Chain A
Amino acid sequence: MSELAWLDGALSAARPQALGALLRYFRDLDRAEEAFQEACLRALKHWPQNGPPRDPAAWLILVGRNAALDEVRRRSSEEPLPADELISDLDDAEAALAERLDNSHYRDDVLRLLFICCHPDLPVTQQIGLALRIVSGLSVKEIARAFLVSESAMEQRITRAKRRIAAADVPYETPGAVERAERLATVAAMIYLLFNEGYSASGGDAHIRVPLCEEAIRLARLLLTLFSAEPEIMGLTALLLLQHARAPARLDAEGEIVLLEDQDRGAWDRAMLAEGLVLVEKALRHRRPGPYQLQAAIAAVHARAARPEHTDWAEIERLYALLETLQPSPVVTLNRSVAVAKVQGPAAALAMIEPLAARLSGYFHFFGVKGALLRELGRADEARIAFDRAIALANTAAEAAHIRLHLDRLSEDHAAEGGLESSR
């Protein structure tokens, strides 16, 4: 690590707050970004000499704002503002401002910054790309690499997204409680999608893109720092941590998917699991269950089972049933059926998912689950049809390879039966 690594770290850590405040001030994303860039350049000049200021974000906001104002004044040839050497730290004059920058403003500034990336007109990939660029401060190159697209394609995607939001109406007033809750939910959904983009890459070869997952966790933690009493944000953070903790065991040496029950649980990241479990506990104390909390609670049941056969499937089934009432969706029912198969057997599970066929006719996992249930019931021919359909719908090579494994097992079942017959 270079000697000035701390500087990089401090600048990127302060970025969401500083940029969020500058956006509120300038009400223009490009101007806010320019001001932030300028402030960072000045920080690179002054911080190594003077050490970092006590509140880096506040320093960057003041200097960024001054630099932009300076520019305006230079154009109108007026007196410049005091040089930023003088703002080596916050003294009395800035104390009041720092006070105002504190807490509530920071919260809404960062939330707004994230929220404008979630404009409903933007396709999900653009929302995520924009959030990574603007809020996380990743370079276009880094984002392009994470999405496995060319740099110019990503550049174009982000420019187009920025143009869209520049034309959109962004509310700058401090949001009311209802609006704040809506923004929080929208942003949480975007973070979740960002994580999923990394967790089950929707195309390409890499099945897990760790940087996207880590960035999603960082954003979730940021949100939780700002909204520390929101059980759903605790749930979201916990869910991401608990899922990402399993990443080291999710793929085998050949890059093929290892199912939860076959994973080496010793390879799970214990620190991440522990943090996720604490957050689930914290969230559940509020007794205000929500979809993220329930999904996190389900992940927690898996995390607590030292061996797959210790898994409390009845509890998982109960949690899915609750999730189904809160957020009815065929995918939730499909997931619930997996728990039902463990508790009541494959026939009950199959009966549960059959009505979903029409709505999930293009869904890879539906045919994967259906094939596995049919195989368990000894209906090999139907299982084969389901698995073939799953392969046709697979999003990644790893998904397809996993289903082929099932097909191989199916053939083995068949061979075993055939052997039985011929020995008779």
Chain B
Amino acid sequence: MLYAILCYHDEAAVGALTKEEDDALMAELALVRRQLEDKLGPVARLMPTTAATTVRAGAEPLVIDGPFAETKEQLLGFYVIDCATLEDAIEATRLLLAPRMAAGLMSTLEVRPIAVFHPGRGGA
């Protein structure tokens, strides 16, 4: 069985770490990743929510600055996509949104740049 492990933090608290503290934390996590390397698939650290853009289903899909903020929906999946510009990423998101809208789902997809990415070999 493949599992996704989702990381939740208070962004302000993470942002309050000094560069040294953040580096130390990343070094610790790198050790754990090595310990899990046979099982672990892709790992991503996302940029702060201020870097996010949200595309919401509608007659004309709405592009909104900022992260997805509602609480009544649940996180049900994610994609990792390589795009040259934010514009391209939003365009791809529109394509991914269309079938959902056609199925009658009022989905919202958040486009959040990835800060750090390790592809991993677990689950391949």
Contacts and interface: CB of A to CB of B under 8 A. Distances in A.
Interface of A: 1, 6, 9-10, 12-14, 56, 214, 218, 221-222, 224-225, 228-229, 234, 237, 271, 274-275, 278-279, 281-282, 285
A13 B18 contact: no
Interface in B80-106: 85-87
A228 B66 CA distance: 6
B86 A225 contact: no
Contacts of B87: 281, 285
Interface in B16-67: 16-19, 21, 24, 47-51, 53, 63-66
B1 interface: no
B30 to A, nearest CB: 15
Interface size range of chain B in the complex: 20 to 34
Nearest to B47: A275
Q: Is the interface of A mostly helix, strand, loop or mixed?
A: helix
Q: Is the interface of B mostly helix, strand, loop or mixed?
A: mixed
A222 B50 CA distance: 9
A274 B47 contact: yes
Interface of B: 10-13, 15-19, 21, 24, 47-51, 53, 63-66, 85-87, 113, 115-116
A13 B16 contact: yes
A275 B113 contact: yes
A282 B48 CA distance: 14
A285 B50 contact: no
A275 B48 contact: yes
Contacts of A282: 51, 53, 65, 86
Contacts, number: 66
A13 B12 contact: yes
Contacts of B10: 9-10, 13, 56
B50 A13 contact: no
Contact of A218 (B16, B64, B113, B115): B16
Contacts of B21: 1
A224 B53 CA distance: 13
Contacts of B16: 9, 12-13, 218
Contacts of A237: 50
B113 A274 contact: yes
A229 B86 contact: no
Given A214-B19, A228-B66, A275-B51, 14 more contacts: A6-B13, A13-B15, A214-B18, A218-B16, A225-B12, A229-B64, A234-B50, A271-B116, A274-B47, A274-B113, A275-B113, A278-B86, A279-B50, A282-B53
Nearest to B18: A214
A10 to B, nearest CB: 6
A222 B87 CA distance: 25
Nearest to B24: A1
27 contacts: A1-B21, A9-B13, A10-B13, A13-B12, A13-B16, A56-B10, A214-B18, A218-B15, A221-B48, A225-B49, A225-B50, A228-B65, A234-B65, A271-B116, A274-B47, A274-B115, A275-B47, A275-B113, A278-B47, A278-B51, A278-B86, A278-B113, A279-B51, A281-B85, A282-B51, A282-B65, A285-B86
Contacts of A9: 10, 13, 16-17
Given A221-B15, A278-B86, A229 B51 contact: no
A271 B11 CA distance: 16
Contacts of B47: 274-275, 278
Contact of B115 (A14, A56, A271): A271
A186 B30 CA distance: 42
Nearest to B48: A221
Contact of A229 (B12, B17, B65, B85): B65
